[in-house]
Chain A
């Protein structure tokens, strides 16, 4: 087992974990958006889907992300991720077919896109974690290195993704501060 494969496995799994962390924590913070989007999809059966379902889904996403960080749990974690990814893909396809318009709040962004092509793309990308983790094998001695690299990459990935999703909040703050500095310098 080379250091390159540990790095490759840790980086790719951390990318998937970052997506799942941000999606899960976003849903935990703002479950109403995803609930409304799901209600739009299921139509008359919407009374069966309650806010608790969204919270459980969010918790499952965070758990799935965590399992990818550890070498010992990544194989079973990849199965959980694939299960979730299949659900996302199905939801995206249904959203496309029913011309969904409610912002899904999938990443805690209530002004985001509705369930559709984007959801299908994320679902298909996450589905790849299953064959990838079956294909790549890590030696017992590399578990520590894997966990260290994967956690650090997941930290970097989830913070960057979160900043990108909420750039509407961050950019004006940064711009006004830069403007203040320029004024002071003048």
Chain B
């Protein structure tokens, strides 16, 4: 009986190691996708996003934001569990007076609502329209976006463009460059 118990404990420990490996693998995949391992600010197309898709519903306050936007609205997908998102949140606070941020909303992916609300409060993001997306379910189901920080350009209620980024200034420059080309 003791032997069997010992074997089961060993199995449990092995399970923890496997889980740890899987978490490291996921983390390494995200860092690599963002280009953070190259140590520079990155704005890159998000290939897995479903361009042209529109969600089944727009949660508040994003619904008002998208309706108000005559041109396009920018949604930033952040997560309470990602280190780069902390940096992006600080950058958003620093550019709070900038009028170009008026049509910017946040989809905050988090484990539960309390963690999300704490993130918003801690970083002073109350001035932006923020939807707290528990488990990131809405953004994954609507646009196929499971990575953060990501930026979604919404035009006429549909996903027009999706990017991964690490710096808001570089992101806005990339998005406005595109607009000029389109005009």
Q: Which of A27-46 contact B (CB under 8 A)?
A: 28-30, 32-33, 35-36, 39, 46
Q: Which of A22, A33, A39, A168 contacts B28 (CB 8 A)?
A: A168
How many positions in chain B have a CB within 8 Å of any CB in the partner chain? 33
B interface, over-half SS: helix
**Closest chain B residue to A161 by CB distance?**
B18
* Whole-angstrom CA separation of A26 from B26 in the bound complex: 9
What 20 additional pairs, Cβ within 8 angstroms, besides A32-B140, A109-B25?
A21-B18, A25-B15, A29-B22, A36-B146, A39-B140, A39-B141, A46-B141, A69-B11, A108-B25, A147-B7, A148-B3, A152-B7, A154-B14, A155-B7, A158-B15, A159-B14, A159-B17, A163-B21, A168-B25, A168-B28
A-B interface contact total, Cβ < 8 Å: 109
The reply on A102 being an interface residue by CB < 8 A is yes
Q: Are B10 and A165 neighbours in the complex by a CB distance under 8 Å?
A: no
How many positions in chain A have a CB within 8 Å of any CB in the partner chain? 40
> What 10 A-B pairs come out closest when comparing CB atoms?
A32-B146, A108-B22, A151-B7, A29-B22, A30-B26, A110-B29, A155-B14, A26-B22, A162-B18, A162-B21
The reply on A177 being an interface residue by CB < 8 A is no
Query: Nearest Cβ in chain A — how far from B78, in angstroms?
Result: 15
Q: Which of B127-141 contact A (CB under 8 A)?
A: 135-137, 140-141
